[in-house]
Structure 1
Amino acid sequence: MKKLIFFLVLLLSIGNVFGQDKGDAIVGEWLSSSKEGKIQIYRQGNKYFGKISWSKNPGNLDTKNPDEKLRSRTIVGSVILKDFEFDGDNEWEDGTIYDPKSGKTYSCNMELKNANQLKIRGYIGISLIGRTEVWDRVK
């Protein structure tokens, strides 16, 4: 019985390790569809985040941010993707995306179309009401 329990624990551990590696497929730098910014996606714990690493206009401030204290910060360095979880297949779900142009935060899902294209779907309420962009991996 002890051997069976050990074997099951080992299998679950191996599955989590390999699943997480597949989840890291989005880690790296991505160019937005407008070509105005680059977003560095990284893993923190079991969740994925993204911050603006480059902007066409690097001195722009986050003037539309609903938090008045953050309006004086530059857009570069701002975390705009938060709390994504890998679903074990090919999608990252249950996160949010912040749009510095409007100052609004939306629910968001991401899907890797191929090794170099990431589909971003921001929405309000349900995924049907939203907008999709495709970002390209920076090589």
Structure 2
Amino acid sequence: MKHIISFILLLNVVIGMAQNKADDIVGYYLIFDPFSNEYSQCYIYKTSKGTYDGRVCWVSNPAKKNFLNYVFLKDLRFDAENNEWVDGKVTYAGKTGTYQTYMKFEDKNKLKVRAYFGFSLLGKTLYWTKEKQKREQK
């Protein structure tokens, strides 16, 4: 009986640690958009489905305020074996098509984002910088 209780406690700790690791992606990120050569900030959050979505929460160009709250990233899920977020879909505002994406931390504040059509080789790698708080929109 002691072994069963110990196993259950250990299992709860391991599951809790994996969950915390998955939620490391939650937060604000500064993004350089290679299409517009402008900066924006997004907020990645956990959905009720347990996946992760991202929305625009700040733009450097005031003329693009209409993109605020635009959900451009959907359905990322955490792959604990490879310590990365996979199977996401990215839609760039003003562009046609949806890119597949996966993300992985290079370090605690640098998120490697790979967006591609079909095959990972046919895409672009971006680096997003994690920020501590939301930027103030002017």
TM-score range (shorter-chain normalised) is 0.7 to 0.9
Q: Distance in 2 between matches of 1:133 and 1:103?
A: 19
Give the partner amino acid of 1:78.
Y
- Does 1:47 pair with 2:39? no
Q: Deviations over 1:69-108 (max 9, x none)?
A: xxxxx21101111111111142100111111141321111
Gaps of 5+ in 2: 133-138
Among 78, 82, 89, the alignment partner of 2:74 is: 82
Percent identical residues: 36
Does structure 2 conserve the Cα–Cα contact (< 8 Å) formed by 1:59 and 1:75?
no
In the superposition, the TM-score normalised over structure 1's length comes to: 0.78
Q: Deviations over 1:49-72 (max 9, x none)?
A: 1100001234437xxxxxxxxxxx
Using the TM superposition, give the Cα deviation of residue 122 of structure 1 relative to its aligned residue in structure 2, in angstroms. 0.7
- Aligned residue for 2:24, secondary structure, equals helix
Using the TM superposition, give the Cα deviation of residue 7 of structure 1 relative to its aligned residue in structure 2, in angstroms. 5.0
4+ residue stretches of structure 1 with deviation over 6 A? Answer: none
Using the TM superposition, give the Cα deviation of residue 109 of structure 1 relative to its aligned residue in structure 2, in angstroms. 0.3
CA RMSD of aligned residues (A): 2.1
Q: Distance in 1 between matches of 2:88 and 2:27?
A: 17
Does structure 2 conserve the Cα–Cα contact (< 8 Å) formed by 1:33 and 1:136?
no
In the superposition, the TM-score normalised over structure 2's length comes to: 0.79
- Aligned residue for 1:110, secondary structure, equals strand
Worse-superposed segment, 86-95 or 6-15:
6-15
